[in-house]
Homo-oligomer: A and B are copies of this chain.
Amino acid sequence: MNQQLTNRLGLFFALICLYTGAIAQPPRGPLVVSPQVNADKTVTFRYLSPTAKEVKLSGQFLKAPVEMSKNAQGIWSVTSEPVKPDIYPYSFQVDGVTVMDPANVAFFPNERFKASLVDVPGDTPLVHAMKDVPHGSINYEYYPSLEGTTGSLVVYTPPGYDQNPAKKYPVFYLISGTTDTEETFFKVGKTNLILDNLIAEGKAKPMIIVMPYGNMAARVAEQKGGAKPADPTVRDGADAVKRANDFATDLVSKVIPYVEKNYRAVANRESRAIGGFSRGGGQTLRTAFGNLDKFAWVCSYSSYLSPAEMDQNFPHIGGKPETTNKQLKLFWVSVGSDDFLYKGTVEFMDYLKAKNVVFKSLITDGGHTWMNVKKYVAETAPLLFQ
């Protein structure tokens, strides 16, 4: 689709918006349907570009990008082999440029890349499927954060929350990965639908889930400075531990009080869980180990801390395992066997074993993906607050 985002004479919207109630209907290209999930689990992807020389499909269900071919209308398409039911990120490579699927509103919220999502349903509905069960609600909230800035949260309230004004709920703080946003557990992880389904089956307790934005430092810089740092070569990561500490400070001193004031949350450590994926898993471990008076349930998805950091910053975890084991009602570590963090995670588990720290673990197939994250959330949510 070739839309020129110019404002001249209002032509931009004239070209792309069809005002169906009006007599004047400005021209636009053919309607492109993409992705189209077929009954045999193959998926047809389409992309309109009469002028492109080469269009490929990339997707996390593919081993390598595949060529698409163009019809007389200029619509490129390809139909995949049957795909294992799940939700996968994908994108198009148009003459080497990575683009989202313009015809698809399902997207992957992220700071560094843009991808669309394709949902291949199972013959038996998967744990994240939209089912005819009572649904909770997703709430976007603003809260007063550190340094006078305003932070954002996505909050899941379980089915029945509004109908039971006297009932209080435990809270699961759930932190997404590097370059993800506070929306990623909702839009990609389908955490709300997973919980709706588990709660409907009686497998998980009704709980509130609070999804903060992990990259607090960037937000503070943006709001305080009026702009993000200008030097495009600035790399984050060098001060990762400091940033994790800032994140923990914000979570404990700002987010938790906001949530417990504005939601009907049970305000004690036995009713607070914390979990996270990738960088969010590192933030989870650091926040939990530094605040064991605040959290009793800890889930690390595809993440770990090094033995050196454990010994230096959290010696009490391995040093007094009987206390750790008593305090942590759940300590969960999971990773995929193809994850680039697999080796480090195994070392972390070996460290914990050597120190007699009790934890539950799950090694799955696959890599550092949100297909795995959904699995981990579905496995751990039933264990919380039981």
Contact = CB atoms under 8 A, between A and B. Distances in A.
A202 interface: no
Nearest to A75: B232
Contact of A139 (B52, B114, B139, B309): B139
A93 B235 CA distance: 26
B130 A135 contact: no
B33 A229 contact: yes
A5 B58 contact: yes
A247 B178 CA distance: 40
A165 interface: yes
Contacts of A227: 33, 36-38
Interface string A107-122: 1011111110000010
A334 interface: no
Contacts of A99: 97-100, 114
Interface in A171-187: 177-179, 181, 186
A321 interface: no
- Name the interface size band of chain A: 35 or more
B105 A233 contact: no
A31 B221 CA distance: 15
A141 B135 contact: yes
A282 interface: yes
Contacts of A24: 340-341, 343-344
A64 to B, nearest CB: 6
A278 B229 contact: no
Contacts of A20: 178, 236-237, 240, 243-244, 279, 282
Number of copies: 2
B73 A233 contact: yes
A32 B95 contact: no
A240 to B, nearest CB: 3
A343 to B, nearest CB: 8
Interface of A: 1-14, 16-26, 28, 30-33, 36-39, 44, 46, 49, 51-52, 58-65, 73, 75, 89-91, 93-100, 102-103, 105, 107, 109-115, 121, 130, 132, 135, 137-142, 150, 162, 165, 177-179, 181, 186, 192, 226-237, 240, 243-244, 262-263, 278-279, 281-283, 285-286, 303-306, 309, 336, 338-341, 343-344, 366-369
Considering the complex of A and B, which 4 residue pairs feature the smallest CB-CB distances, nearest first? A10-B367, A21-B282, A20-B240, A5-B58
20 contacts: A5-B58, A5-B90, A6-B60, A6-B63, A7-B60, A10-B340, A20-B244, A20-B279, A21-B240, A22-B306, A24-B340, A33-B228, A46-B232, A97-B99, A99-B99, A99-B100, A130-B142, A130-B150, A139-B140, A162-B263
